[in-house]
Every structure is written in structure tokens, then in C-alpha cells.
Copies of this chain bind each other. A is one copy, B any other.
């Protein structure tokens, strides 16, 4: 860690700072510039808060050299993490496609969609039982009953299932769930993350709407600090000033995350764009820049035919996306030809 002191710091304040740092077994090296003094810290600074340092009267700036996420960092774990899920896996060269409806509406619906997406080549089934909705007056999901329907679809299709948890109190219901999803709005629900660190289950963490990549990795670190290193990261769009799309899909986050961490990185083009016709090009772009997988909404409910065009794809549209994805995959970044 580097600490830049302000012009002419009071010697006693500077000594207090150095003594305090040394009391934490951190070696302090100083360089005197013409107008500035800089302190170079050597040792374990994991517990030193740069923001607190920056706040000191005598400090002009302080910044970390090493990442504050030792478990998630690629630097300390060069090899890609591979996460076994049922008979498949996430990462390690396998391309994962998690598909299914936004909400589980009935056993018929989830099972029908499950069969359809499996036919098209999905490796996992998604479906929401607990739904975070901005309005208390809109459908909140079938909750426990929805989970049962999802598990029935799992039995029928043998697809591993991914579904979102909204609160710790729901954890007991997730025993047979293969991958527990932490939604964007819960990405910094630290009590939830801590508890998930004690489950043996793979955790899919969605990037928060206004979370930096480092914050996403810090949330992964919360789970990993509890002993669970089966984390899947998911880019799903960030909030910007642009309103033409619901969110701004940050695809550079894919290669950047894969450089920062050894954890697998997937992309959700459905939520990021909010419209179904954008799912295909953005899914293809995500494949091209090296994503380990996709998470795509597929809907199939004749009574909601009105919804054609929503961010959810119809099974035949999803099948078309899968064909394009399979065609482009061999030429993707860091695969053959990429």
C-alpha cells in the first residue's frame, strides 16, 4: 500500500501514523520528494482501510497495491475454478447455458419450458420462485410452491436447477436446488453472503446495478471467506444515463473479470437489455469475448401470448439463439481461432 502525505506534514502526526502502522507489523519505507513525502507499506495490509487513511489530516492519498480479495484473486490462484453441477460443470471449457422462465407460474409451465430448453441444449434450468419486485402490488412469485414445481421439472428433465434466494429464512427450502442465485439487489446483502459461505452449494452472484467489478469480487470473497469457493459471477448490465436499453451490458467486464479472478463468468443478456430481440446479438457478443456461459429467459405460456416480444424468448427463438451460439463458440476469444 502507498500513502502520499500532504505538503509539510507535522512530524509528530507522521510519527504517530508510522508507529501505528508498524504496530501492525507493517514495514514503512518513506521517500522524500521536493514537495511531498510518500510512505510505502510492506506487509499484510489486508486490515488497513485506505479510505480511513485518506481521511487523515496529513494524508493526501492512500491506495492499495494488492487486491483486497485474496481468495477470489487470479494472482494467488492461477488456474480457472471449475464448478461441478449435477452431471455438468461451470467453467473449465464447458459452455453453460442456464435457461428458463423469469417466474415459475405452474408445474405445467416450468416443465414444458424445461423440456424445451433441454431439447435446444440448455445445461441448466432457471426459474424464479421468490421474485424481487419493485412494487409490493405486483406478483411476488409462488415461493415455496414454486420451488416444488421447479424440483419436479428437475426430476423430469434431469437438468440441474438455479433459482434465487431473497432471504436467509428461505435457505432450508433450497436443499435440492443445485445452484443458489444471489440477485443484483442482494449482491451486498452481507449477512446472506456470509451464511451462503457455510453451504456446500454453488452460488451464482449477479453484479449489482451500480456495483464495480471489485465490489462484485468482494461479495464473492464474503462467500469464499466462509469456506465456499464454488462461485459463479454474472454480468447482467449496469445502471447508466442511457435509457435506450433497460441497463448497459458491460461486456468488457467479462475479459476483465477473467483476468482479475479464477472464478467462472457468465452473462445475462435478457435482464441487461430488457427486450427479446437484443438477446441474440448480445448473447453472441458475450460468447465472442470469452464468457463461460449465458443465462437466458425463456417463456412459454399461450395465455400470455401477448408477451411475445418481452425480454423472454419463445422456445423457438431460444433454439435459434442456441444455434448461433454454437456456431460462433469455436471462434470465441481464447478458444480455437480466438
A241, B210: Cβ atoms closer than 8 Å:
yes
A115 interface contact, C-beta 8 A? no
What residues of chain B lie closer than 8 Å to A333, measured between beta carbons? 280-281, 284-285, 324
What residues of chain B lie closer than 8 Å to A133, measured between beta carbons? 190
Given contacts A251-B251, A337-B328, contact A210 B209 (CB under 8 A): yes
- Chain A 296-333, CB-CB to B under 8 Å as 1, else 0, gives 00000000011111110000000000001001100111
Nearest Cβ distance between residue A267 and chain B, in whole angstroms?
A: 10
Nearest Cβ distance between residue A70 and chain B, in whole angstroms?
A: 9
Nearest Cβ distance between residue A335 and chain B, in whole angstroms?
A: 10
A199 interface contact, C-beta 8 A? no
A89 interface contact, C-beta 8 A? no
Nearest Cβ distance between residue A288 and chain B, in whole angstroms?
A: 4
Nearest Cβ distance between residue A10 and chain B, in whole angstroms?
A: 11
Nearest Cβ distance between residue A34 and chain B, in whole angstroms?
A: 6
Bound complex: CA of A184 vs CA of B41, how far in Å?
33
Bound complex: CA of A332 vs CA of B288, how far in Å?
9
What residues of chain B lie closer than 8 Å to A306, measured between beta carbons? 16-17, 20, 56
A242, B212: Cβ atoms closer than 8 Å:
yes
B55, A285: Cβ atoms closer than 8 Å:
no
B4, A65: Cβ atoms closer than 8 Å:
yes
Given contacts A185-B188, A240-B238, A255-B281, contact A49 B337 (CB under 8 A): no
A244, B214: Cβ atoms closer than 8 Å:
yes
What residues of chain B lie closer than 8 Å to A169, measured between beta carbons? 168-169, 191
Query: Which one, B190, B212, B278, B337, contacts A244 given CB within 8 A?
Result: B212
A/B interface sample: 5 pairs, CB < 8 A: A51-B274, A55-B274, A55-B309, A136-B194, A328-B331
What residues make up the interface of A, taking CB atoms closer than 8 Å to B? Answer: 2, 4, 7, 16-17, 20, 29, 31, 33-36, 38, 40-43, 46-47, 49, 51-52, 55-57, 60-61, 63, 65-66, 68, 75, 130, 132-138, 140, 166-169, 185-186, 188-192, 194, 208-210, 212-215, 218, 221-222, 225-226, 238-246, 248-256, 259-260, 272-278, 280-282, 284-290, 305-311, 324, 327-328, 331-334, 337-338
